[in-house]
Chains A and B, each alone.
Chain A
Amino acid sequence: MSPATAEMMNEGEILAGCRAGDRQAQHALYAATSPRIYRLLLRMSGNPEDAGDLTQQTYLQAFTKITQFDGRSALATWIYRIAVTEGLQWLRRARLKRSAVSLVSDTAARNELPASDLRLDMDAALGRLDPEDRTVLLLRYEAGASYREIAELLSCAEGTVASRLHRCRERLRGILGPGYWVTEETTGSVHPTA
């Protein structure tokens, strides 16, 4: 395949090329999907080095297992799922490492901000959540996973997902501050159950 045609490949051609081990097809798939995959893994892990390693693992998994892709989803979605799995495995390893060295959780410290730091962008705010909380939010709102799917991925009950999401959203709201979403008409209004 000539370099000139690599950018113009459709998904079917990319898939066929990847199944045949064609490097240009693999690069075309990587070029089309890696920004989203890398962003997800950077947000999940919270550091560029781990995100790079996880992205690499994701594509090695994808290119190795490409023959198992059954076409029931878009190829990009399939790779995204592999990335989520890689990210979750990293999360478990990180959790084990933390408990093995008896580190005191700094979650609370991360979730409390000085009052002056009221406005943060979303990535900075996500970075202040602990990795597990961040992952639940990413799975729901970036990956679009249902409660049932998240529960399966995290091996917990759907009710746990719901309550955890609620807690994470509240933490995120606390970090972002009231200016993040408030419109002039609703300023000053407080929900009775808040």
Chain B
Amino acid sequence: MTCPSLDILGRYFDGELDAALRADVEQHVAACARCAHEFDALRAIGAGVASGEFPTVPIELWPAIQEALESAAVGVHTALPAAHAIRRPRPAGRLGPRRFAAAAGIALLVGLGVLAGLWLGNGKPASAAPIDFSILLDAINADADAAFDGFLKRYRAQRIEASAAHAAAPALDFEVPANLPGGFTRGRVYHLRFGDADGIAAAYHRDDGEFMAAIFHPPVRREHFGTHQDYPCAIGHHRGHAVQVGAWRMVHLTDPSTCHCVLTREQSDGAIAGVMQAIAPRSTPESIPNP
């Protein structure tokens, strides 16, 4: 057999030749260096198209789908719900008064209405992109350290010294003490990027391997928790909100400059209050509005 055309070779690669011709081409490719080279090229193209990295799915997508589903009660009716506009993050500093009102409305949806109202009432523009905690919460029960690593990767974490944390996120008010109540010792500290805003995360471990994490970020217009329900809670004298995922609880204590988040399996409000006092020592009850 003489060298088949590239078109025939392509059909052979795609498994679209009839049996007789396929056998001829197969035999020829095995013996012909040039056709084998062409076949390698086809294989590289096919494999290249089939593979490739998966881009990050925008975090706004699921809430938009959920919203459309809720408005149409999908699963009960057969009509296709209208797609809802995907709330895409807007550049910092470009929110006009109407947008502030819209942002406040969105914040109300996640139970942050009063806090966000105060923050927006100060006239400060939103400075951070929405934060997707579902990355952390979805995987927390399987492997807490791996879930934390996934969250760090998503927000482009850079390891820093604990002593450099305040300088790395000057707009935030927090502490990352060497020890936390309950026998936890500070491990690695990271600088994160939430859109254009700085954040800090610190990992803590106990001698028995128990993990706890502290994450600090600016108050944001929207936090995503996937399907995990966010509910208001009071920790000590503070009012905040929390998400329970199996044995894990993520508690948020928000004041006008900083949202202090603790991820822990500790269930005692008293013990968590001690941790909050240590990482947010200047966040007084008076600074937090009552809902």
Contacts and interface: CB of A to CB of B under 8 A. Distances in A.
Q: Do A and B interact with each other, yes or no? A: yes
Interface of A: 2-4, 6-7, 18-24, 26-27, 30-31, 34-36, 38-39, 42, 48-49, 52-53, 55-57, 59-61, 63-67, 121-123, 126, 137-138, 140-142, 146-147, 162-163, 165-166, 169-170, 172-173, 176, 180-183, 185-186, 189-194
A162 B4 CA distance: 15
B75 A19 contact: yes
B34 A57 contact: no
Interface string B227-248: 1110000000000000011110
Contact of B5 (A137, A186, A193): A193
Interface size class of B (residues with CB under 8 A): 35 or more
Interface string B23-66: 00000000001111110111111111111111101101110111
In order of increasing CB-CB distance, the 3 nearest A-B pairs are: A21-B75, A4-B246, A181-B44
Q: How would you classify the secondary structure of chain A's contact residues: helix, strand, loop or mixed? A: helix
A3 B245 CA distance: 6
Contacts, number: 173
Contacts of A48: 55, 58
A35 to B, nearest CB: 4
B138 interface: yes
A142 B246 CA distance: 37
Contacts of B47: 141
Contacts of B86: 52-53, 56
A170 B6 contact: yes
- Determine which residue in B34, B43, B49 has the highest number of CB atoms from chain A within 10 A of its CB, and name it: B49
A53 B83 contact: yes
B50 to A, nearest CB: 5
Contacts of A186: 33, 36-37, 40
Interface in B142-168: 142
A126 B3 CA distance: 29
A170 B46 CA distance: 12
A6 B37 contact: no
A61 B80 contact: yes
